[in-house]
Structures are given as C-alpha cells and as structure tokens.
Amino acid sequence: MIRLAALSAQMSAETAALDAASLSCCRDLASRLFPWDTNRALELALLKTHCVPSISGLLSRTGEFEQRPRKRYDDTALMVAELLRLGPDSPGGRAVIQRMNRIHAHYAISEADNLYVLSGFVVKPIHWLERYGWRPLRAEEQQALFRFWMHVGGLMGITERPNTLEELLTLNRRVEQELFRSAASNRRVADATLAMLLANWPTPLQPALASVLRGVLEPAVLTSLGWSAPPTWLGRLVREGLRLRSAFLNQWLRRLPPRRLRFYSERPTPSYGATFRLEQLGPPPLLEQLNSRR
C-alpha cells in the first residue's frame, strides 16, 4: 500500500504532458509504418530481458511466463498498444498506467531493472530498423520514441531516467555488457517464451523456426539464455533474408505508402478473443486484489 501510494504521488507530480508531435509520431511508427518490425523488435527486447538474472529470477518465481506465457505476453502487448493508441496522458492511458503500477507494486522490482526493460522499447526498434527495416528511423522519430517511453517511465515512478537518447543508449549497452550472464532462470523463462511464440506453427516446423530466431540473436544473448548458436550459414541466410525483405519493401512502399493498420489492442488476441477489458489484465491470482476499489 505504501509503495502504491508513492507511485500515485509520482504520477500526480508528472504534470507535463507528452507533446502531441511525439505521440502522433509513435502511433504512426507502430500502426502504419513499421507494425511488423515493431512487433519483432519488441519480442527480441522481451527475450533480452531474460538475460538479466534478477529479471528472469523474478519472472520465474511468479510462474506467469512458465504457466501462462500467452496471457503474460498478451497482457504486456495490450497495455503497450493501448498506451500508444490512447496516449499515456489520456484518461484511458492513465488507467493503463495505474493498472501496470498496481501489478508491479506486488513485486520487488528494482528501478534499475524497470528502466532496462523500458529502454528496450526505444533501443531495440532503433537497432532492428537500422538492420532490417525498409528504412532506418529518422533522428526525429528516434527522439519521439525516447520522449514517449521516458514519459511513461515517469508515470511508472522511475525517478532516475536518462535525460537524452544518447544516455539511454549507453545505459542499455552497459546493462547488456555488465549484467548479461547465464542462469537457470534465464533458460526456463526463455524456453517458455519461445514455445509460446512458436505455438501456432505446425509442430514439425518449430525446431527450424527456433533456429531461425536464434539466427538474429547476438552471441552474448545465446550464451546468457543457454541456447546453442545456429549453423553459421543459417544465421547468415536469416539476416540476408531480412535485408532482402527490407530492400523489397523499401521500393514497394515508395510507390504505395502504407495505410494505417490496427493496433494489437484492436485485434482479436489468443487470450481474450475479439475484445478485452482492462480488469482482465494481470496475474490471475492477483485479479481480485487488482480489481478492488482500494
């Protein structure tokens, strides 16, 4: 209760709303210009968080990724999509933030871990699109992502946030150099996440697809997760295939600019079907507490 009150006070202190240009830009990136790439980048960002034992250890202890990986994934994706769709300063966006804060308040999550997870929402789309997007993000788009997610971080109660994109990139790189290391919890949570990502594919194809995914992961990530590296030729083939896709799309989209697509929260999900309610999001053992009127 004390921690939750502190988070509410922090939200009240964050009076400066996100500028409209940054919000519009981030919406456009996620829903029209790079929807597929954004999803892939954020999935990789999710996997990378499992390389930090303090993060994977907590996730393993909650059991949510191992027992209900699809719901845990959908809950995160839905809250991220709603923040982008509605804006974090709208009534709906503030409700999402409050829900997120109530969930996090039940666990001992360090500010440093929260900030690293948040940094992935900025850094990984930038890196992915540099390598595989139909074009890289422009400087102003990178800054919009930075302002959006650092504003969300303030509403989450993260006090020590980087002041510039360069500082955030440095922080993300430092964590990955210094804190990535092998742990049993890394492997457990990552295996459950991978199984969830491949669940809709035919079983005979899943080993090959798992190798394809490993082909885009850096050696330090593979080592930290306890995963074997794919054959060199396969990794090269995967990366070249993604670059060819990018080159093709670059030419296609110059001739036929993309129209707006639906956000993840506007589409049916495996966990909730055609529609969902905010009250459904969160670990099932906590739902009664989360939905109380305290």
Q: What is the largest CA-CA distance in the chain?
A: 57
H helices of 133-261, in order, are: 139-155, 165-178, 184-198, 206-214, 219-225, 232-255
Convert the pLDDT of each residue in 133-191 to its tens digit. 999 999 999 999 999 999 999 999 999 999 999 999 999 999 999 999 999 999 999 99
pLDDT at 4 > cutoff 60: no
pLDDT at site 252: 85
> What does the chain come to in residues?
294
- Tokens representing residue 208 in the block: 């090959």
Query: What pTM, to 2 d.p., does this model score?
Result: 0.89
**Sequence-ordered list of residues with C-beta below 8 angstroms from that of 227, at least 6 positions apart, any chain:** 187, 190, 214, 217
Comparing 260 with 219, which gets the higher pLDDT? 219
pLDDT at 8 > cutoff 90: no
Convert the pLDDT of each residue in 129-140 to its tens digit. 999 999 999 999
The share of the chain scoring above pLDDT 90, in percent, equals 77
Task: Report the distance separating Cα 24 and Cα 144, nearest Å.
Answer: 9
The mean of the pLDDT values for the chain is 90
Task: Indicate the pLDDT class of residue 92, thresholds 50, 70 and 90.
Answer: very high
Task: Report the distance separating Cα 105 and Cα 171, nearest Å.
Answer: 24
Residues 149, 122 contacting (CB under 8 angstroms): yes
Q: Which amino acid makes up residue 50?
A: H
Convert the pLDDT of each residue in 9-39 to its tens digit. 444 445 578 999 999 999 999 988 998 899 9
Residues 42, 80 contacting (CB under 8 angstroms): yes
Residues 157, 14 contacting (CB under 8 angstroms): no
Name the packing angle between helices 184-198 and 206-214 (round to 10°): 120
